[in-house]
């Protein structure tokens, strides 16, 4: 029964490799984009902490900056 | 109308939507995989190799859909001068190129047991390869040109030129003699596929679409933070 599902009348190698390629592609792209997102969030947080008090006041009042910091889990 | 494309608004919606889309994607993909690999019947002619259709066809559909959207947005950049359209297009491209690659590779795998060859230079396959090259050029244009205005302009031109290839891909099976079979599903006519195969195909298409939305949301936020990072340095 299980071997029938795996072998698929001799087409298993083609079917499984096509599905495996697709899923590996999905996982790889998701992993790469997540990594890029985290890297940018960290860079943003780092840049924020190095701002002078005057610049910090200007930056923190921008809604989008607040939102970015909120979603990066920052304590800034 | 363009207030809907306000970066802050999109960022806020994106961040909330990501988790919901991710859960929907996992659920739809799981159902789709069970349907495609185990529950759907085998084809009377192609036997079990027909199951490759459940990844090949949705990938091809979505890659075409994404490139058409990119081309339309790129054209709109010239008309409306809205730079956010470039950000949206740029964020759509990574999933578009992946789906094109999946369509090409799974098509090649499907070709071996069906046609007896991994590759044939027929109209449909060649035009899909050209689409892959257009995606590559489009993404490379952002890396090659350092001047942002220049890279935006060149990438938009590439996308608009690439759009010429879209109807060629669609109608290649009608215009030329190709190894590819003509379309079995049409919006205007009755589908030639039985519902036992059509339903898994649509579920897999939904899963693939959700994945491309998820990648789009993540990439858009990444690009937006990148812009804001530059803004902080300029303060």
**Interface contact B66, partner A, CB < 8 A:** no
Number of domains in chain A: 1
For residue A60, the chain B residues in CB contact (below 8 A) are none
Which of B168, B188, B165 has the alpha carbon at shortest distance from B176?
B168
Residue among A25, A33, A68 minimizing CB distance to B225: A68
For each of chain B's 235 residues, which pLDDT tens digit applies? 556 667 777 788 888 899 999 999 999 999 999 999 999 988 888 888 999 999 999 999 999 999 999 999 999 988 888 888 999 999 999 999 999 999 999 999 999 999 899 998 988 999 999 999 999 999 999 999 888 889 999 999 999 999 999 999 988 888 877 777 777 776 667 777 888 899 999 999 999 999 999 999 999 999 999 988 887 766 6
**Interface contact A54, partner B, CB < 8 A:** no
The dihedrals phi and psi of A11, each to the nearest 5 degrees, come to: -100, 0
| Contact state of B106 with A40 under an 8 Å Cβ cutoff | no
Tell me if A52 is assigned to some domain.
Answer: yes
- Which residue is associated with the tokens 């991994």? B118
B106, B56 Cβ separation under 8 angstroms: yes
| Contact state of A25 with B101 under an 8 Å Cβ cutoff | yes
Tell me if A76 is assigned to some domain.
Answer: no
For residue B225, the chain A residues in CB contact (below 8 A) are 37, 40-41, 43-44, 68
Which of B175, B201, B203, B208 has the alpha carbon at shortest distance from B100?
B208
Residue among A44, A48, A67 minimizing CB distance to B11: A67
Owning domain of residue A53: 2-71
């Amino acid at each position: 029964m299980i071997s029938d599902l795996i072998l698929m009348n001799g087409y298993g190698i083609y079917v499984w490799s096509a599905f495996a390629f697709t899923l590996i592609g999905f996982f790889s792209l998701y992993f790469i984009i997540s990594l890029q997102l985290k890297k940018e969030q960290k860079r943003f947080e780092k840049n924020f902490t190095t701002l002078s008090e005057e610049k910090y006041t200007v930056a923190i009042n921008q809604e989008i900056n607040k939102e970015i910091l909120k979603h990066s889990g920052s304590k800034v | 109308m363009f207030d809907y494309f306000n970066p802050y608004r999109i960022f806020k919606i994106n961040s909330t939507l990501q988790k919901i889309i991710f859960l929907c994607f996992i659920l739809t993909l799981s159902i789709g995989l069970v349907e495609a690999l185990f529950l759907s019947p085998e084809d009377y002619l192609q036997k079990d190799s027909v199951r490759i259709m459940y990844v090949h066809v949705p990938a091809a559909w979505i890659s075409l859909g994404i490139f058409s959207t990119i081309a339309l947005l790129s054209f709109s950049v010239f008309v409306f001068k809205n730079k956010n359209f470039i950000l949206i297009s740029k964020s759509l491209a990574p999933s578009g190129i992946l789906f094109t690659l999946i369509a090409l590779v799974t098509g090649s795998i499907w070709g071996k047991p069906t046609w007896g060859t991994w590759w044939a230079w027929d109209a449909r396959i060649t035009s899909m390869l050209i689409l892959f090259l257009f995606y590559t050029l489009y993404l490379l244009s952002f890396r090659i040109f350092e001047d942002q205005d220049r890279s935006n302009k060149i990438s938009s031109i590439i996308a608009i030129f690439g759009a010429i290839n879209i109807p060629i891909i669609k109608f290649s099976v009608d215009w030329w003699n190709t190894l590819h079979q003509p379309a079995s599903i049409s919006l205007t006519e009755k589908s030639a596929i039985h519902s036992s195969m059509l339903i898994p195909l649509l579920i897999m298409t939904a899963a693939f679409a959700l994945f491309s939305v998820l990648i789009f949301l993540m990439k858009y936020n990444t690009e937006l933070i990148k812009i804001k990072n530059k803004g902080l340095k300029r303060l």
